[in-house]
Structures are given as C-alpha cells and as structure tokens.
Structure 1
C-alpha cells in the first residue's frame, strides 16, 4: 500500500519526483498513475512524463495505468512451456529478423523458440551456413535440406534441447560468423541481456566475440526483467528486433544507445510460413 503523506509544499524538480517514485516502487513494486498524482501533487501528464523518463533509463517499466519495478527472473521456463508463450510476437519478430540474413552468410542462431521460428524463412536461400547450439533448430534445418549446419556441442541442457557451458563456448570461439542472432529471456536498457544460467552466458558472450554483426531477438513481454548473470549490454548489438508493443520510453532508451531498433508488425495468419516443430 502506498505511504500516506501530504504532497510537498514546494514543487519538486523532475529528478526529485523520479527519485521519490523509485523509492515508493521499491516499497510497493507497482503504483498507479492516480496514486502517484496524489502522492506528488502533480498532474497525470507530469507523472506520465516521469514514468517515460524512468523507463528510458531502464529504472522502471510502464504498465497500463501505472508503473512497476523491473522484475527479477530466477528461473527460465522449459522449451515446451516457451513454445506456447507469445507465439504471435515471436512469429512477427522472426519474420523481420530473417530479412537481415543474406545468401552466402555464416549465421549463428542462439538456442530459443524465437530463433527457431526464423528457420522456415531460410527456405530458398543459397550458400548459407548456420551454426547453432539448439537441437530443434538442427531438426528444422534438416527438413529444409540445402543449408550447411554446424552444431557446437557441449553440455546438454535437456529442458531446452540445447548445449551450454565452456565446451560449447570454446567451440564457438574457434568459428567466425557474419551474423549472430541472440535470444534472451530477460533484457533491459539498464541490465542488458541477462540469464539465470552462467553456462548460457558463456555461449552468448562467445557468439558476440566472434561475429561481425550481433542482433538481439526478444519480445517486449521480456523487456524490463533481469536475471542474476549479465551477458551482453544492449549497446553491443548492431540491431535489436522486437515487437511493436515495446513502450515509447523503452524504445527511446534503446535508440539513444545508438542501436538500430526494428519493431515487428503482427504477422497475419495468411502470411505465416510453416510452423517449426520444436
């Protein structure tokens, strides 16, 4: 419950208001715009500007009618669970991300259901080599049949049908790619790409170190969350591909990093390619 005290007698400057909002968020986690107007004695428009500024800096996340603190992700769902989450957003992101892949490229596809959704878009491409740590992606590539594929091996993570850890990272570090497409279960301007698993971080950082261009693919529902282990700062990416539901404040914060932000429109049912099997 929001603390009950009178609004300040003298107007606060924006930085003071935003610091007060953050202190109250650390107490209550979620606050409505109405609660904040009562708390600070300012207009709805002023509060919305403050929320946008906090989100721009990655300090808070706007929600319908209010604001919340970034959430801490302690575990990731299994591959089966991920395959049922945000499928429409993932399809649109995959379709847009696939336009960055050109013939004759060597591409790393990080493990994940969004990267898996990219594979059907590669049908008809020529001269591609795809490197991955994802067994489901290998299965899909096999169904296409005309793409050279390399699986990097390593410690098997059964729940996500992928490989992780130092052996996978060491193999990947010996390969050079034109484009690395990285997935994320949690991401934000403030924390970058994070993971609850240090063994996944090893692979993501190895992929970044050996590529000419790095692209993040992650839906907006994961934005503003963070996990224990930091992997890649957002400024390290060439491009970030997400969906159009990303808030304006978050989008502004990303663009200020100098990173190309690509916002995917919803994919119409008639435009969908063959659904991946994983």
Structure 2
C-alpha cells in the first residue's frame, strides 16, 4: 500500500474501535513501529487523530462544555501546576487578562503577593475572589452572562476588553490541537478571547492535555497566534514535539503530589519542564 492508502485503512480501523495501540496497528498494517508512528504524526497534523500513551484515537468534536461546577472538581493537580507556571509570567505593576475557566481560577491565590496589579476578567468567580485583594485594580467585563460557566460572553464583552492595553492575556480553551489550534463549541466566546489576544503584548494559552486532540465548531486562533502554551504532562511526547516544531514555545508542567496524592491537597507544589 502507498502511504495514503495505509492511512485511510488506519482511519477505517479507528472508526470501528475508537482507539488502537501502536502494536495492533503494526499487525493490521503489516508495517514497522516507525512507519506507524509517522502515519500517526501525519494524521495528527491533519487534525484527524490524537496520540494517546501507547497508541492513537480518533479526534473528537466538542459540542458542549461541562458546567463550571463539574469542571471545578476534576484535574485539580494539573490545574494548580499550570497556574504556578502562569504565575511566573506575571510581574508587578502589570495589566493581566484572566479568561474564564477553572484552571485560570487556580491562578488567583498566586497573585495575592503581586503589587500594583491590574486584572481584567470575564470570569465571575475570579472577580469575586479578587474583590478583597488589597492592591489590585479589578475590572469585571460586562456582557451576556453564561450561567453554566459563570462568565460574560458576546460582542459587548469583547468591546470592553478591546479598550485595554494588556501586558499578558491568559486564555483558556475547551479544545486544542495542532491543526485547528484553539477552538470552542460556543460562538459567543470567540470574540472575547480574540479581543483579549489582540489587546495584549503576549498571549498565553493555558490548556490541559486532556483537551488536546479535540476540536470545537468555532476557531479562536491557531497555536502560532499565541506567544506560548502551558499544558500538563499528560500530553504525549509526539504531540509535544509536533507543537514545538511549529515554533510555538511549549511549557509542560508536572504536578507533584505527596505520597498517595490527593488532588485536594493544598500543600501541592508543581515542577515544570519547558522547551
């Protein structure tokens, strides 16, 4: 088989099973481990599959997002580790945009010691948490309220964000991949995210590895549109290499847990490995 035929067969097999190991694909396609890896990388670049440890699965479309309450209960170790990495990019006296989401919500307590800070956010929970900060100028972005995600969305919110000069915009996402970049199932969120990126000197995508390889209906920005990307160590090595080969600085963080690690442990620290 020529490579195109082999990749078509790979996709047909995946549609039947959802996920396959590299070993299984070597047997099905009767090719080497290296050939299968090259095929996976090509299909991943096309946005058709995503790597998982030891194998590959079909890229999935995100049609809706979990509620804020549901998101706040999962992957806390990874979210805290990403927040620690993001906090390293914030300096005294800066103007920072915090996009809506539970990962960036973990950044709030890490900003408490930063003086002269101006924070702009469309996240209602983040704004409430920063209300009592002794030395922060806080702007809550107005607009239509997304009750499920506790945030403001739409053109009115985007217009307000566009009025600022922002040093660093931290942008969240429900899905991201090599081919499509950051995407969302909600058109009303696109304008706000793009406005923050356009107003900022640097834009940082803070995105859990569990969201990599999925895609939403609406495009926010290609990965090359971000100054850098912060994710966690569940991202497969092949996917991390592919992102870096785009020329996008990628920081992969590793949560550090105590023995018998508990995502709820307040004493958790994070170590990072950067490109």
Structure 2 residue 158 is the aligned partner of structure 1 residue 162: no
Match of 1:5 in 2: none
Shift of 1:19: 4.3
Question: 2:251, 2:55 → 1: CA distance?
Answer: 26
With normalisation by structure 2, the TM-score equals 0.88
With normalisation by structure 1, the TM-score equals 0.87
Question: 2:210, 2:4 → 1: CA distance?
Answer: 28
Farther off after superposition, 213-222 or 262-271: 262-271
Structure 2 residue 241 is the aligned partner of structure 1 residue 252: yes
Farther off after superposition, 19-28 or 127-136: 19-28
Q: Which runs of 5+ in 2 are unaligned?
A: 258-264, 271-275
Q: Which runs of 5+ in 1 are unaligned?
A: 1-7, 274-278
Match of 2:218 in 1: 229
Question: 2:244, 2:94 → 1: CA distance?
Answer: 27
Q: Which of 186, 205, 228 matches 1:197?
A: 186
Contact 2:185/2:217 (CA < 8 Å) preserved in 1? yes
Match of 2:260 in 1: none
Shift of 1:257: 1.8
Q: Cα deviation per residue 1:79-112 (whole Å; 9 max; x = unaligned)?
A: 0000012111111000111101111110000000
Structure 2 residue 115 is the aligned partner of structure 1 residue 137: no
Question: 1:85, 1:57 → 2: CA distance?
Answer: 29
Question: 1:168, 1:123 → 2: CA distance?
Answer: 25
Contact 1:60/1:67 (CA < 8 Å) preserved in 2? yes
Question: 2:153, 2:134 → 1: CA distance?
Answer: 25
Task: Give 1 or 2 for the bigger CA radius of gyration.
Answer: 1
Give the secondary structure class of the aligned counterpart of 2:88.
Answer: helix
User: What does 1:75-154 align with in structure 2 at a 5 Å threshold?
Assistant: 75-154=64-143
Give structure 1 regions of 4+ aligned residues with deviation exceeding 4 angstroms. none
Shift of 1:18: 3.2
Match of 2:31 in 1: 42
Shift of 1:271: 4.1
Question: 2:28, 2:124 → 1: CA distance?
Answer: 52
Shift of 1:137: 0.6
Shift of 1:247: 0.9
Question: 1:35, 1:254 → 2: CA distance?
Answer: 26
Higher strand share: 2
Farther off after superposition, 53-62 or 186-195: 53-62
Shift of 1:64: 3.6
Count residues with an aligned counterpart. 262
Shift of 1:253: 1.8
Shift of 1:65: 3.7
Question: 2:53, 2:250 → 1: CA distance?
Answer: 23
